[in-house]
Amino acid sequence: MTTRPDVGDTIPDIALETPGGGSVRPSDFRGRPLVMFFYPKDDTPGCTTENKDFSALAAEFERAGVALLGVSKDPPKKHEKFTTKYGLVAPLASDPVENGLADALGIWAEKRLYGRTYMGMERTTYLVDPEGRIVQVWRKVKVKGHAEAVLAAANATFPIQD
């Protein structure tokens, strides 16, 4: 069992693939707070709701100076279709199938459903400070009200300076 990075640790700087063939790393957001929300699979009920909720609040996160990034192991083409289908505005990235960021965070884990064991993403959200340190973690997230709770935490942690 790997040690899971937690509050106070620096988020691992592992490249993710973006739709359109680019890449993004957590360090690309240095200088501003970042919310990274990891979810199991595009186009499933809970994941669709979570992505729609973060997208609905994207302008609020932007006003707070906080970047958003949704991450799953789905390929970039699937993210493109998912984004288009639901009009999502929160950016998405694809985590490598093996040795990716979710593996380094310990959230690509063994899961059980109906007696079947498989590897899957634990729905987890990280609030990261401008220096790349984790300031809050939500593990095994329940989707209802989650995006709002993350926005409230971001606003409380990083108040807007006038």
Specify the pTM: 0.95
- Would residue 54 count as lying in a domain? yes
pLDDT tens by residue, 15-55: 999 998 999 999 999 999 999 999 999 999 999 999 999 99
- Is residue 69 flagged as an active site residue? no
Domain CATH for 107: 3.40.30.10
Confidence of residue 1 (pLDDT cuts 50, 70, 90): very low
pLDDT given at position 2: 52
pLDDT tens by residue, 105-130: 999 999 988 999 999 999 999 999 99
- Would residue 45 count as lying in a domain? yes
- Would residue 9 count as lying in a domain? no
Total domains in the fold of the chain: 1
pLDDT given at position 161: 65
Token pair 């699979």 is found at 41
pLDDT tens by residue, 54-108: 999 999 999 999 999 999 999 999 999 999 999 999 999 999 888 999 999 999 9
| Amino acid at site 105 | L
- Would residue 78 count as lying in a domain? yes
Q: Which of 16, 47, 64, 107 is catalytic?
A: 47
